[in-house]
Structure 1
Amino acid sequence: MMLLEVIATNVKDAIDAEKYGANRIELVTGIKEGGLTPSYATIKNVIQNVSIPVHVMIRPHSRSFIYDTYDKEVILNDISICKELGAAGIVFGALTEENTIDEEFLKSVTNHVRGMNFTFHRAIDDSKNIVEAIKTLMQYPEITHVLTSGGMTSAIDGKEVIKNMVELTNESNIKILAGSGLTIENVSDFVDFTTVREIHFGSGVRKNNSSIEGIDSNSMARLLSQLS
């Protein structure tokens, strides 16, 4: 069974994503910046209007995945509020100045996310050694998913690495969630090659393949037929 996660940026997106067959929502604002934390009212209203799980992006700015003391306080508060609002999970990642996993802060985050899903996002694609990074993340049982394009701009170009990541995590708590650059036309071959069981779509299921347009019912139907 393939799981399809679709990016939503507002309540209508989320309702449409569920209606057209998504299994889970990644809720963000600032989609053109790679996703930022949405407003609390947006989080609350999305959760109230859909029945599928909602994973909320926790990212205070798009400068980098390196966070200072002030950022970290905001991040932990955002996670607590998402938990209060009933989000099924959070989407978060942090790196050190050396582009390794920021384990010191990760420990604080994992303490806050207990009882929720935790996707470590594409910060891993900016790490200096993606295989070492995934091995580090496997040491944290609170992490349920890793969203990745295999260290490349497109998951298609990173498919060899993603296949390796799937094999590495097969017996672990982590599910590999592949995203970026997947299309209705290439997803079937990609899934067959990597054996990934969860995929992530944004602009690929929107009108005119535009990140700022709404979710397209025809694109969703065509995608689901490729995944069945």
Structure 2
Amino acid sequence: MILEICANSYQSALNAQSAGAHRIELCSELSVGGITPSFGLIKEVIQNTRIPVFVLIRPRSGDFCYSDEEFEIMKSDIQYCKEIGCSGIVSGVLTPTNEIDLERTQALIELSKPLAFTFHRAFDCVANPTKSLEQLISLGADRVLTSGQKTLAIEGLDALQKLNKQAADRIIILPGSGINATNAAVFKNSRFLEIHTSASVKILPNEVQLPSMFDTIQTVSDIDCIKNIVNVIN
């Protein structure tokens, strides 16, 4: 089983590798569901890690419907990731009615080639997951990151198992959200090939007190948490 760590920083990426994770999904700002990391962060992680790095391409928080300008930014970011040596792209676009935007998602998949393409958790917003999965298979996506349309993947296990059966080796179902050493074996025993988690812990604040408007919780992917999951799935 492959363990993908959602790393929100340079340190999180290094911790993922040190602890034995098999792949990194690199992003920023997990508190808003993740957005595209800076070019500088992507470069440093690529240069200083040996495991595959997939990069989240999401220009902002909020919904997954993008303006023409935002879509151009996404394409530019994918091009950079290809040039810098990333192994995969994590992205996707929805319509205002929460269906797969077939034209734009197809464009992102084609632009990403030959890199692997993961359709991200926008999938958990779609109105018809069965139909949407078939569409993503037709478009050529390699995997779908999903919690089974629940807050936590363990809560969406039944839906995830149905999607995995429907996928039938045509696309990888990548369960994610709240997976840890306590429940990781459930997903392995359910015959999922991969799992996704941030395995994060809060970073204790510095002694310097910031005004409340800047007082957001910082997290980092934890070496011990990751090692514990690796031990379970191995």
Q: 1:77/1:61 Cα in 2 relative to 1: closer, same or farther (>3 Å)?
A: same
Paired with 2:83 and 2:114, the residues of 1 have a C-alpha distance of: 11
Q: CA deviation at 1:208?
A: 5.3
Q: CA deviation at 1:209?
A: 9.7
What's the secondary structure of 1:214's corresponding residue? strand
AA at the equivalent of 2:200? R
**Bigger relative contact order, structure 1 or 2 (CA pairs below 8 A, ≥6 apart):** 2
Q: 1:201/1:209 Cα in 2 relative to 1: closer, same or farther (>3 Å)?
A: farther
- Work out the percentage of aligned pairs sharing the same amino acid: 36
Paired with 2:152 and 2:100, the residues of 1 have a C-alpha distance of: 21
* 2:208 corresponds to: none
TM-score (norm 1): 0.92
Paired with 2:169 and 2:12, the residues of 1 have a C-alpha distance of: 34
AA at the equivalent of 2:226? M
Paired with 2:116 and 2:203, the residues of 1 have a C-alpha distance of: 29
What's the secondary structure of 1:51's corresponding residue? coil
* 1:219 corresponds to: 225
AA at the equivalent of 1:168? Q
AA at the equivalent of 2:36? T
Q: 1:40/1:208 Cα in 2 relative to 1: closer, same or farther (>3 Å)?
A: closer
Paired with 2:149 and 2:161, the residues of 1 have a C-alpha distance of: 12
Aligned residues: 222
1:1-228 alignment runs, 5 A limit: 2-141=1-140, 143-172=141-170, 174-192=171-189, 194-202=190-198, 205-207=199-201, 212-228=218-234
For residues 9-61 of structure 1, the C-alpha deviation after alignment (integer angstroms, 9 at most, x for no partner) is 22221111111010000000011111100000100110000010000000001
For residues 148-171 of structure 1, the C-alpha deviation after alignment (integer angstroms, 9 at most, x for no partner) is 001111111111111111111123
Paired with 2:153 and 2:203, the residues of 1 have a C-alpha distance of: 17
Paired with 2:26 and 2:221, the residues of 1 have a C-alpha distance of: 13
**Structure 2 residues not aligned, in runs of 5+:** 205-216
Q: 1:46/1:197 Cα in 2 relative to 1: closer, same or farther (>3 Å)?
A: same
Q: Deviation above 6 Å: which 4+ runs of structure 1?
A: none
AA at the equivalent of 2:164? V
Q: What value does the CA root-mean-square deviation take over the aligned residues?
A: 1.6
Paired with 1:8 and 1:171, the residues of 2 have a C-alpha distance of: 27
**Kept after mapping to 2: 8 A contact 1:146/1:177:** yes
4-13 or 40-49: which moved more?
A: 4-13
What's the secondary structure of 2:221's corresponding residue? coil
For residues 158-213 of structure 1, the C-alpha deviation after alignment (integer angstroms, 9 at most, x for no partner) is 111111111111231x1111100222212212332x321100011xx223599733
* 2:210 corresponds to: none
Paired with 1:111 and 1:50, the residues of 2 have a C-alpha distance of: 26
TM-score (norm 2): 0.90
Paired with 1:85 and 1:208, the residues of 2 have a C-alpha distance of: 30
AA at the equivalent of 1:91? V
